[in-house]
Homo-oligomer: A and B are copies of this chain.
Amino acid sequence: MSNNTDKPARGRPRTLQREHVLKIAVESYWTDGLTGVSIEEICRRAGVSKPGVYREFGNEDGLKQAALERYQSTILAPLADILTDDLPFEQALRKLTDFVLLDRKAHGLPAGCLQVTTCRSKQTLGKRTRESAHKFSDQTLMGLEQWIDRAKSKGQFAVEIPTRTAALYVDAQIATAMELQQQGVTQKELERVFKLALTVFFEKRRPILDQIFSEFV
């Protein structure tokens, strides 16, 4: 960890900029996948030497975990905020829609979601990276459940739909939208698909919902 604010320390001063490497790492893993780019390649792209990266992040697992965590706390932060802000349900849905439908290509951002691809990866990931991904997944799902429960208690959400089901559904639709965007579906078509998915929450459809969910409980 950088200690550049304290006393000037003793040995040769550092030149490796942690933030720069981390930024390149997030971008690389986001674009090419966590298993699609090597440390060597990231070093090349960042213009730093390999031992420097190892000194800073320990090993590959450490770098991937740091990159994923940075992605979560920057790119995905708006999403977490929407869930905790306690807005009226329809307003939250609107904000959620804006976030999901953001034209990432036009903003120079990579397509897809690093968090989702990490969770879905079947390949060997380090322990720290895996745990970081799953912890965030669980937190997001909990956030969605609490958000939906609050909406239910305010009469803004169909109580016929089990909370966990709705949370899993919303989570999946968000991931789907990012996936479609990555596949090159037009923004217009993406908007149609996502809004179609959200219609399940809108109209009063007690008869049909009851019919589907009564058999469970």
Residues of A at under 8 Å CB distance from B? 31-33, 35-36, 112, 117, 119-124, 161-162, 164-166, 168-169, 172-173, 175-176, 179-180, 182-183, 185, 188-189, 191-193, 195-197, 199-200, 202-203, 205, 207-209, 212-213, 216
User: Which residues from B are CB-within-8-Å of A31?
Assistant: 122
Q: Which B-chain residue is minimally distant from A111 (CB atoms)?
A: B122
User: Which residues from B are CB-within-8-Å of A33?
Assistant: 121-123
Q: Which B-chain residue is minimally distant from A120 (CB atoms)?
A: B179
Taken together as a complex, chains A and B put the C-alpha atoms of A192 and B211 apart, in Å, by: 12
Q: Which B-chain residue is minimally distant from A112 (CB atoms)?
A: B122
Contact A199 B208 (CB under 8 A): yes
Given A188-B216, A209-B199, A212-B199: A36 in contact with B169 (beta carbons within 8 A): no
Taken together as a complex, chains A and B put the C-alpha atoms of A207 and B173 apart, in Å, by: 23
User: Which residues from B are CB-within-8-Å of A189?
Assistant: 164-165, 168
7 examples of A-B residue contacts, CB within 8 angstroms: A119-B183, A161-B196, A165-B196, A166-B196, A168-B189, A172-B176, A199-B208
Q: Which B-chain residue is minimally distant from A31 (CB atoms)?
A: B122
Taken together as a complex, chains A and B put the C-alpha atoms of A185 and B167 apart, in Å, by: 12
Given A122-B31, A168-B180, A168-B189: A199 in contact with B205 (beta carbons within 8 A): yes
User: Which residues from B are CB-within-8-Å of A176?
Assistant: 172-173, 175-176
User: Which residues from B are CB-within-8-Å of A124?
Assistant: 36
Given A122-B33, A205-B203, A205-B205: A212 in contact with B183 (beta carbons within 8 A): no
Q: Which one of A33, A196, A213 has the highest number of Cβ atoms from chain B below 10 Å of its Cβ?
A: A196
